[in-house]
Structure 1
Amino acid sequence: MCILANHRYPATDPDWALLFSHPLHFFSLGLGTGLFPKAPGTAGTLLGFPLFSVIMHLPELQQWLAILLMFIFGIWCSAFTGRALGVNDHGAIVWDEIVAMAAILITVPLTWGWGLAAFVSFRLFDIWKPFPISWADRHVKGGLGVMLDDALAAVMAIIVLQLIKWWF
């Protein structure tokens, strides 16, 4: 059992009670998408689209500042939920996917095709985890580790998408 903030949570899968027990759990578990029994990371990634729609009307510099603030917030809430679950980077913690997807969307044209390409490329890098993503995933722990591997997957997806955009 993990004792945190006067709550006792078993080192098992999260549930709806945990989701609503603290605002940090609510965000780290992707507003509930992290509780999907199949592909919670994919479900969480989809929330990057509405998150981006909230910031897309800001100037680009402010969009990146918002992403940075959400990344820092993600370190905090992911660590909090990871400690409560007794698992450093539990698959149900999907705030990292949400923020990473929103970041990628800043860099591509606002069309369905580019949105789909952004989604697919990010999911491929997030699942495949080539170097340096795999290194960060294995060596950086805690909330920073949770957020960093997805940030690196986002960077790699952005590079690929920019090359494709340049090519066409």
Structure 2
Amino acid sequence: MAYWLFKSEPESYSYADLERDGSTGWNGVRNYQARNFLRDSIKVGDGVLYYHSNADPAAVVGIAEVIEAGHPDPSAFDPDSHYHDPKSKPDAPIWFQVTIKPVRPVDPPLSLASLREVPALAGMELLRKGSRLSVQPVTDDEWRAVLELAGIKPARKSRKG
């Protein structure tokens, strides 16, 4: 199991939208490094910190779980989509998505400013100057620290024999 942080502008697709819909394909990612995470690294069962960017305040607002691993992003094939890419073809996709479902909201949300105050998060990708990736890895220790801040008891990892 791995952990991730997914950024979304609340006006585009908020955590409340995810709760309402029950699940969503995390589509429209058009950065190659983030695409590679979606295509190659993110697996079913992985945990997701749902982060509202360009919000006041920017904050971790929910916990989600990956329920479908990387698969072609259909918005790339749709000429009416804002995310259409004419170079991406169903038989040779360029862009990928995963499907996530909500687990629980983080209430109150954990603001970017509050995360910056936590020594255990000093190396977190989100807090690096100039970090703009919309999909980024989160270490086990960072995951636990964020859940602790949110007052959520992390599930124990199972050991495989």
Same fold (TM over 0.5): no
TM-score normalised according to structure 2 size:
0.31
Hey, which of these two has a bigger chunk of strand by percent?
2
Hey, which of these two has a bigger chunk of helix by percent?
1
